Amino acid sequence: QVQLVQSGAKEAKPGASVTVSCNVSGYTFTTYYIHWVRQAPGQGLEWMGWINPNRGATKVAQKFQGRVTMIRDTSLTTAYMEVSRLTSDDTAVYYCARSVYQVQLDYWGQGTLVTVSS
């Protein structure tokens, strides 16, 4: 069965960076794009970007350009997203999700809580 399993909760200080991983199984990793979506406490969903695991190409939302990096390791069938220069506004649950087409996201990871606090 298709599964996306994310890394555990993380704490980071303002100005630091954090990396969230997303290990997939149950399908061919390079066949579907992986999207990243975040949700601040009590807030809605916010699209952050995607990575094409086949070629490694990425598209990052304009808001996050220069601060978010997406990579993948095909041998580990894992996608990673790094967010740098963290502020308290980056405190959120970060989700990875498999994309069938555009933002048709059919399988999601369980989410990773990132807390930014001094």
Partner 1 sequence: QSVLTQPPSASGTPGQRVTISCSGSSSNIATNAVNWYQQLPGTAPKLLIYRNNQRPSGVPDRFSGSKSGTTASLAISGLQPEDEADYYCAAWDDSLTGQGLFGGGTKLTVL
Which of 8, 44, 75, 89 binds partner 1 (CB under 8 A)? It is: 44
Question: How near is the Cβ of 63 to partner 1 at its closest, in Å?
Answer: 9
**Which positions from 47 through 86 interact with partner 1, judged by CB under 8 A?**
47, 50, 59, 61-62
Q: How many angstroms separate the Cα of 38 from the Cα of each of 81, 83, 89, 109? A: 11, 12, 11, 12
Which of 25, 28, 87, 104 binds partner 1 (CB under 8 A)? It is: 104
User: Which secondary structure element, helix H or strand E, spans residue 112, and what is its range?
Assistant: strand 112-116
Stretch that binds partner 1, among 9-17, 22-30, 43-51, 74-82 (CB under 8 A): 43-51
> Closest by alpha carbon to 78, among 56, 60, 100, 104?
56
The number of residues that bind partner 1 (CB under 8 A) is: 23
